[in-house]
Amino acid sequence: MKKNEDQVMTTHLAFFNASDLGWSKQLKGYIRRFVQQESDVDDIYQDTCLKMMELNQKDHIHNSQSYAKRVAKNLIIDQSRSAFKQHEAMLEEPECKKSDLDTLIDYQQRLVIYQKILKDTPSTRRDVFVRYRIKGQSKEQICQEMGLSLEAVNKHITRMLTHLKAAIARELEK
């Protein structure tokens, strides 16, 4: 016999009449009515035996078989509540955040693509875009500093964004 089986048998004999070994099968049958997995039946049976042994040491139980059924039923209820809570917790999809390394790699790859694209862009368009998107200058500031109209600044930004989008799509196809 394994160690656990010895413990269960000792526990079994501690609170059941040693001559009534059929009670073990009866209790397992009772548990089996409420539990689907055979391994769960064995677990609940063992837990019931352990609880009964602990209770027998503290108090004398007059009807140990009825009390054992009640203990088993409570353990089954506790187990189903625990399983329900675990299921309930998994109803929401866990959020998967990118690791710092993934974020850094993505950033570096985008930076390389942007640098390639900006290098091949006309200088005025590049300067307007860098001032607006990277340095955070307002369109009015860019107009004043570069001597351009607001319409020209808007066109440079729009064309640069269109060019970036197309270039990134080409890079991703490679």
Q: Is residue 50 part of a domain?
A: yes
pLDDT given for residue 148 in this prediction? 93
Tell me what pLDDT residue 137 has.
92
Tell me, yes or no, whether 81 and 144 share the same domain: no
Backbone angles phi, psi at 169, to 5 degrees: -60, -40
Cβ-count burial of 30 within 10 angstroms (0-12 exposed, 13-18 middle, 19+ buried)?
buried
Residue stretches of the chain with pLDDT short of 50: 1-19
Q: How many domains does the chain have?
A: 2
Shared domain check, 84 and 10: yes
CATH of the domain at 106: 1.10.10.10
Residue 94 within a domain: no
76, 44 contact by CB (below 8 A)? yes
- pLDDT given at position 139: 93
pTM for this model (two decimals): 0.40
Question: Do 85 and 7 fall within a single domain?
Answer: yes
Distance CA 16, CA 10 (A): 10
Residue 12 confidence (pLDDT): 43
Q: 95 in a domain, yes or no?
A: no
pLDDT at 94: 55
What's the CATH code of the domain at 67?
A: 1.10.1740
Structure token pair of residue 44: 């609940």
84 plus 104 within the same structural domain: no
Residue 131, domain extent: 100-173
* CA distances for 102 relative to 98, 99, 108, 121, 172, angstroms: 6, 5, 10, 29, 17
Tell me the C-alpha distance between 33 and 44, whole Å: 12
**Residues 129 and 155 reside in one and the same domain:** yes
At 41 the pLDDT is: 85
Domain boundary among 58, 89, 120: 89
